[in-house]
Amino acid sequence: MVCASSLIGKAVLTSIPVPRLRDDYILVITVAVAVNPTDWQTLDEIFKPETTRTLLGCEAAGIVVEIGKNVRRDFKPGDRIVGMAHDGTFAEYIMIKGYIAMHIPPDVSFEEASTLGGGIATVALAYYRYLELPLPILPIEMEKIHRSGLMVISTSSPSNFKLLRSRGADHVYDYRDPESGSKIRSLTCNKLSLVLDTIATPASAQICADALSSAPDGLYVNLMGVDMPRSDIEGGHWPAVPEDFELMKKFVVLTEKLLEQGLLKTHPAKVRDGLEGILDGMQELKEGKVSGARLVYQV
Ligand SMILES: NC(=O)c1ccc[n+]([C@@H]2O[C@H](COP(=O)([O-])OP(=O)(O)OC[C@H]3O[C@@H](n4cnc5c(N)ncnc54)[C@H](OP(=O)(O)O)[C@@H]3O)[C@@H](O)[C@H]2O)c1
């Protein structure tokens, strides 16, 4: 699924060459891809002048074909792996960066695993680097593996409260309730100091502003660079640095173990067939028609 610079907002399914294996990468036959909001957002972006076309998609699960010579991990041809890619995933053959790919355990399907790539990287960097939460260390008690020993508070539509609780949330609030932020502040006795805003709109930033403690020592991290309405809360922009990659290398090993032991559950997948349906899927996502599930396409 290729997007050309002359066609902003559109993509086409077309033949392109199989990518040439690079030393730090793994060549993979794609089995399932998940659609991430960033896919339609990227489709709508204006290209950099030097780029003529891009392959869309960032999350995939598949089978190892060939391993680059700098990838010193225990992958071999035929292994089932999951990962994320900046070079695109909506294709039959793709390149996944070797050090941040993960094995898929036998009891997890390609479709389930494909939902993990972007989320794992986001959690690793946002929680364990910018918010500096304690990284779970194995072996520890099961409760703490799930939560790093912290209370988890989240927001969603009421129809998804049960799903979020089943994934480890201790408390869930309806983000359409204008009081949700202040309810979280009172639940946390005005002591909440760390927030990750995965939605990153002015409305979600306001919920976070209302929820964070009135003491000026809070830290607000969001994924899209939205402004925090409170000037007393710390935020900022963190450019990518080599330490991010070092953290990811450790985090994927931990994630593989959590997945293997059944301690990490994937998001529910709505599975569909074929790359050609992805454009419609991206449109559904853009229009907010997908709730409590990831759209996954079998390649
Ligand atoms: N997923 C990733 O790996 C990733 C990584 C980096 C950046 N991002 C960016 O982060 C943003 C969200 O991505 P996503 O993957 O989390 O999207 P998503 O899976 O489509 O999640 C959106 C859902 O968040 C729920 N939600 C919870 N609190 C909300 C609030 N305060 N306002 C609105 N919705 C709320 C809604 O659930 P209900 O259906 O229950 O209403 C909505 O359907 C996108 O801009 C994306 O590009 C995502």
What CATH number should be reported for the domain holding residue 17? 3.90.180.10
Residue 149 inside a domain? The answer is: no
pLDDT-based confidence at residue 141 (cuts at 50, 70, 90): very low
Instruction: Kindly state if the Cβ of 119 falls inside 6 Å of ligand 1.
Output: yes
The mean pLDDT value for 77-89 works out to: 94
Instruction: Kindly state if the Cβ of 160 falls inside 6 Å of ligand 1.
Output: yes
Residue 170 φ/ψ region, left for φ over 0, alpha for ψ in the -120 to 50 degree band, beta for the rest = alpha
* Residue among 80, 103, 113, 83 at smallest CA distance from 95: 83
First-to-final CA distance of the chain = 11
**CB contact at 8 A, 29 and 61:** no
**Quick one: pLDDT at residue 149?**
65
Residue 190 inside a domain? The answer is: no
* Residue among 240, 246, 248, 195 at smallest CA distance from 222: 195
pLDDT-based confidence at residue 76 (cuts at 50, 70, 90): very high
Q: How many Å lie between the centroid of ligand 1 and the Cα of residue 113?
A: 19
Residue 45 inside a domain? The answer is: yes
Token representation of residue 126: 């946002």
Q: How many Å lie between the centroid of ligand 1 and the Cα of residue 69?
A: 37
Distance CA 133, CA 226 (A): 22
Token representation of residue 193: 């100091």
Higher-pLDDT residue of 98, 44: 98
Instruction: Kindly state if the Cβ of 199 falls inside 6 Å of ligand 1.
Output: yes
Domain housing 292: 2-116+266-298
* Residue among 33, 54, 92, 102 at smallest CA distance from 264: 102
**Quick one: pLDDT at residue 139?**
54
Residue 90 inside a domain? The answer is: yes
Higher-pLDDT residue of 112, 11: 112
Distance CA 32, CA 28 (A): 11
**Quick one: pLDDT at residue 145?**
47
> For strand 2-4 and strand 153-156, is the pairing parallel, antiparallel, or unpaired?
unpaired
Residue 290 inside a domain? The answer is: yes
Residue 170 inside a domain? The answer is: no
Q: What is the DSSP letter of 259?
A: H
Q: How many Å lie between the centroid of ligand 1 and the Cα of residue 285?
A: 10
Residue 294 inside a domain? The answer is: yes
pLDDT above 70 covers what percent of the chain? 93
Instruction: Kindly state if the Cβ of 181 falls inside 6 Å of ligand 1.
Output: no
**Quick one: pLDDT at residue 150?**
81
Residue whose entry in the numeric block shows the structure tokens 């963190």: 238
Burial of 195: CB neighbours in 10 Å, binned 0-12, 13-18, 19+: buried
What's the structural domain count of the chain?
Answer: 1
Residue 106 inside a domain? The answer is: yes
